[in-house]
Structure 1
């Protein structure tokens, strides 16, 4: 993440990662608005381009070729990416309610979440049919269908419900792909049969008769059974019923109709049409709340009803970006009128397509190549991201954001020369409001804490216990303060768990970039919400802390833990020096966070790689520590900045043993090997590499693709422990059952040799 160049004065929140919003992000990336912060809230990191989805189904494109990486695009645009799902709106407080994180404040908001299948309108459809909308969820269902086909011997009957261009195009793409899958497996493609159902009297009703006639011929030639002017009224396992009472057999049922607005919109005060879509005016604002815009399939533009087609969502990108920019800077908004006619390029499964516009009908392989060229060019705008030049004037550019009198006073304060010392503390009222809704876990040993704030916390040490102290602090490496708070707390707790201790209390220290009080307050609130969730889950009471202004967001904790004072107790400390020859070395989490986030900062990491890394860092090591102890671990440490090799050396030296690491067995985060191979390394890597002298014959391993990852610094990494060899397999099985899916046996402890280097590698 890049630190802000000036205080944030206004927030624009984009809900959903549809085609319109990717256009908005791109335009703000090209020309940032000073003082304006964009936040994208979306459940999925990779959003599909609807125009290429049939080509993906048919097998012409890979997954990455048809998906826009929203996390990378947001980073490129200087926007925050919150991977979550909106479930409501608090209009009075101007906050977006989210499914699994604190609500997010907005000054202006736009909704571009596509349509939602209303399969509940037909009995059994929700349980037995595969809805195509929303398309970002369709891939998992499509992959499952492919696996079922592979395992299903004999005849397979596929029914598609929906006779528009989307249904016809999808059916032909599925038929093309599945036929080739059967042929590749030595099976007869005639095992497949397809049927199409539509309540309309005509297929492709919004297209001209020549286009409709051409597709009717294609469907007939390919043996597709077409049922028009008939409605599906019931769906059961492996069959569906039409309005005439006839049951039709179908092993797979794909639903490409009856889509509407998301159900949660009904609980807002937004004006909706009969299908649940958000009504918007000429400026794409909702008449019920001018601070909220909507675009794409979720929007119904009053006075200009149009088909739900991707072309309109794409075309709305520029006017929506311009009007959001105008709204936030106090300028007049510009009306937008969608075109009455549009070009549709409809594929037929193979590399062949039909062009339809008004009365135009053109077809051929050349049309498919034309469409392919257009689609690839569109995707390149969002996935091929060059380094952006700093806008004219840079950080010195004055903000045009319109503020009221009170906000102008706050903005002047935020932009003024800042004091140091205690003058740099975050204001008491801001801090108290930010922490007011937090409810840290209570412990009876805490005599004075946040429940009765004083100059310092007072905590009793229970009889028979020793205190374990640790501290960690680092700057933010992602733009989501809530997730950052969770990771910072997990990272700090790792040392306590590695010692085999119980976390008791924590004291926080944070720095927050200067800005309007409301913006600072929300950042602190989001960050501490994430942190307290993790601390509470660990039974660790937050008892105090310090928050001050700084150049960038940062957070750390001083954590106290408890452990049995009796040195002979089975629940005494697990020190680094307890390794014994013959033990197995177990690592509880994959490695690779250093190289991945170095790549993320350069826009060279895929969003799903970062998602997986964040999920790993958000996973607590508490249960892993208990499991390792239960299986006889005598030494343990958590992997952090020194990397796997650095922390292993810290274990072997005091124990007076050597260790062997199996490079092939190292669990890696997805993408880590690719980013290391591209030469993208953490800034701490060179310092860690100096420890290569601890490796026996390092020159032999220098070219191994996993060798650099021995030095990769970790954030909130896993635990590395020595476990009796005879209990290692049971320990691994128990760890994996607890959710540490990539826990692995990565090496063994060996008796010290004559060589000075304690670490031996193998592959």
Structure 2
């Protein structure tokens, strides 16, 4: 019996979470456990992997790996059914209710929450912004820390490795704990290299009369003794007023040498908040009431370090951010459903577990003092259990869908009518088109590039576009269309346009015009309008960069977001080119024996996004894949032609093997691929090894009969990636062997950092199978 089709409830209200701090990860988890029908969550965060501050010292000390101490925010958002926009908020338009972002269109919100942490106030001290490293944002500190580790453990030839002086400015728990962690790690690294740890000198500076001023006297005494025992010079009542390269200045005029200066002082709010209408305290933190709503804009919430709860002032500590997760989630849910919000009162005392670099820690709460290795094990257990809640997520079953529930979202009369219409039986044919007013508003601010050949286009809409073909030119046509594989319509628009342009560039043509075809899920007009705008904004940016004019299109309703383009390109009409073939057009059939095969981008998008849908991919793997997919093939195609390429194609759904077979057949040649030389996207080998493959993979695998001695390669870890379908993949081209290295160097200079020579073109053999595989590592070992 056929099952009735489930109606998917579209977004009725948008909650936008700005930042990926401890509170927001708690909100995501709570909405994952209990979704609110009709509510769409969107996370805007610069960092895909958000650090847990409680484990940062342990990471610095070497007790934890990077993944141990970071929450994979993209993966958690996918688990919660939330959209993840990798960007940075830089402002708020209160009237339009949009978040302004650094590198994408504004993001609309109905309700918003800010949890972006704080930043040490380096700019308040002369030279500190230039010569000191603030501990936040943590990703920048980590980059500098990794650089320091590399420099000290692998000094350049001729450099004296000793006399490295490291200063930490800030005598609170954060500064003391970080200094001890750095000292422990660096001392161990030097000892492992048979070097003297005394090459390192550490100093701590604090303007206060004592270190750890918010903790009891026994805690302070324990850390004073620890610092003394480990040879750390402690400067209390020393206000740092200036920083220069290699030294810092105290208020009394004295100078102190320091090769590395880490800033862990009192922090403030992000500078961009000052240009909003949000009420801020003297340090730039957002003032909120008991419900965690802004005092000046009740549609905006704030939590964690960036928030200042005016009636309950507390120290900036991670414990409060974690505890705010539940009340913030409950109040966001109440706000969007029109129910009363509940007040939240933070605890007056809290437990602090502070490590001493080694596997030893101190417990501090009011007058409580406990110390020992067992305290570190206690802390370690607490921290790991906390992280497991957000990183140990059950894998998603393919096609899994929760049973629909009725929406509790509060709507006005007009929105209610739209919502009923959105889930009612929809018309087909032209009745399924997106409304003209919605479409015109969405496209009104887009500015497609103008070309003289476009006689009738979006600037003067008509039944069809009219485009002139310049004299001496031939027209190249192509079309591509696919459904969204990522929850960010702006990025999806970029990838879709880039993918469609790939065929034009691969043939050596310039892009001229494009016509779009899109399907958009039905819903409230405002939500549909923004989706169309975001998607087409991304697409038009890519088209404009390629000099391709968007001249028209069609947008209709569908169950899933999808986008495609029919693209026209121009190429010289049979004119000469730099290609040895003497033809302007680069086709698949121009392979010549003795040439080498160059691939301009890494492969692996199919398996990675299949894994992403099942929560089996790390967020940074998806970031890198999207970055590759958004990279245009335009310059790469020109570079290949300049270096004598005679055949070229772009990698798409048929995968590397499928496209190479398409090239060998018309060329009448064989080809050899070196599996070791294949450039792979980070994580692709891991996801393939886990058995996670694209749904198109089985169809592509049928081409395995084109591989000579295929059975000998089935168990090679890279074998499955030969069949992996690509989206917006790189160019595969043949180049004369004597020009290959120069071509590769030029591609790298243009930004195709992973471009590689992956094989060579062979004379046709006696065997029916045209593709020969090799493993460069094994071949090299065999020759030795």
User: SS at the partner of 1:557?
Assistant: strand
* 1:592 maps to 2:600: no
Residue of structure 1 in register with 2:372 after alignment: 364
CA distance in structure 1 between the aligned counterparts of 2:150 and 2:236, rounded to whole angstroms: 30
Structure 2: runs of 5 or more not aligned = 1-5, 776-784
* 1:635 maps to 2:643: no
User: SS at the partner of 1:470?
Assistant: strand
CA distance in structure 1 between the aligned counterparts of 2:227 and 2:593, rounded to whole angstroms: 70
* 1:663 maps to 2:671: no
Residue of structure 2 in register with 1:323 after alignment: 331
Is the CA contact 2:396–2:614 (under 8 Å) kept in the aligned structure 1? no
CA distance in structure 2 between the aligned counterparts of 1:105 and 1:415, rounded to whole angstroms: 23
Q: Deviations over 1:71-103 (max 9, x none)?
A: 000000000000000000000000000000000
Residue of structure 2 in register with 1:732 after alignment: 744
Q: TM-score, normalised by structure 1?
A: 0.98
Is the CA contact 1:440–1:532 (under 8 Å) kept in the aligned structure 2? yes
Alignment of 1:34-49 (within 5 A): 34-49=37-52
Residue of structure 2 in register with 1:27 after alignment: 30
CA distance in structure 2 between the aligned counterparts of 1:387 and 1:583, rounded to whole angstroms: 45
CA distance in structure 2 between the aligned counterparts of 1:298 and 1:569, rounded to whole angstroms: 60
CA distance in structure 1 between the aligned counterparts of 2:7 and 2:166, rounded to whole angstroms: 53
Residue of structure 2 in register with 1:9 after alignment: 12
CA distance in structure 2 between the aligned counterparts of 1:164 and 1:285, rounded to whole angstroms: 29
Residue of structure 1 in register with 2:696 after alignment: 684
Q: Deviations over 1:116-150 (max 9, x none)?
A: 22211101101111100222432112111212323
Residue of structure 2 in register with 1:407 after alignment: 415
CA distance in structure 1 between the aligned counterparts of 2:209 and 2:556, rounded to whole angstroms: 67
Alignment of 1:532-611 (within 5 A): 532-566=540-574, 568-570=576-578, 572-611=584-623
The counterpart of 1:437, out of the listed 442, 445, 449, is 445
Mark the CA change 1:396 to 1:77 in structure 2 (over 3 Å): closer, same or farther.
Answer: closer
Is the CA contact 1:4–1:552 (under 8 Å) kept in the aligned structure 2? no
Structure 1: runs of 5 or more not aligned = none
The counterpart of 2:120, out of the listed 117, 120, 142, is 117
User: SS at the partner of 2:417?
Assistant: helix
Mark the CA change 1:4 to 1:606 in structure 2 (over 3 Å): closer, same or farther.
Answer: farther
Residue of structure 1 in register with 2:130 after alignment: 127
CA distance in structure 2 between the aligned counterparts of 1:168 and 1:13, rounded to whole angstroms: 36
Is the CA contact 1:640–1:714 (under 8 Å) kept in the aligned structure 2? yes
Is the CA contact 1:665–1:746 (under 8 Å) kept in the aligned structure 2? yes
Is the CA contact 2:518–2:556 (under 8 Å) kept in the aligned structure 1? yes
User: SS at the partner of 1:101?
Assistant: coil
Is the CA contact 1:54–1:169 (under 8 Å) kept in the aligned structure 2? yes
* 1:271 maps to 2:283: no
User: SS at the partner of 1:64?
Assistant: coil
Residue of structure 2 in register with 1:525 after alignment: 533
Is the CA contact 2:395–2:616 (under 8 Å) kept in the aligned structure 1? no
Is the CA contact 1:471–1:558 (under 8 Å) kept in the aligned structure 2? yes
* 1:675 maps to 2:683: no
Is the CA contact 2:652–2:727 (under 8 Å) kept in the aligned structure 1? yes
Residue of structure 2 in register with 1:186 after alignment: 194
Is the CA contact 2:515–2:566 (under 8 Å) kept in the aligned structure 1? yes
Is the CA contact 2:517–2:564 (under 8 Å) kept in the aligned structure 1? yes
- Offset at 1:569? 4.7
* 1:719 maps to 2:731: yes
CA distance in structure 1 between the aligned counterparts of 2:313 and 2:7, rounded to whole angstroms: 41
- Offset at 1:414? 1.6
Is the CA contact 1:133–1:259 (under 8 Å) kept in the aligned structure 2? no
User: SS at the partner of 2:150?
Assistant: helix
User: SS at the partner of 2:760?
Assistant: strand
Residue of structure 2 in register with 1:699 after alignment: 711
- Offset at 1:418? 1.1
Residue of structure 2 in register with 1:241 after alignment: 249
Residue of structure 1 in register with 2:322 after alignment: 314
Q: TM-score, normalised by structure 2?
A: 0.96
Q: Deviations over 1:598-624 (max 9, x none)?
A: 110110100000000000000000000
User: SS at the partner of 2:298?
Assistant: strand
Give the superposed CA RMSD.
1.3
CA distance in structure 2 between the aligned counterparts of 1:490 and 1:388, rounded to whole angstroms: 29
Alignment of 1:493-508 (within 5 A): 493-508=501-516
Mark the CA change 1:329 to 1:280 in structure 2 (over 3 Å): closer, same or farther.
Answer: same
Residue of structure 1 in register with 2:720 after alignment: 708
Residue of structure 1 in register with 2:296 after alignment: 288
Mark the CA change 1:393 to 1:603 in structure 2 (over 3 Å): closer, same or farther.
Answer: closer
CA distance in structure 2 between the aligned counterparts of 1:669 and 1:660, rounded to whole angstroms: 21
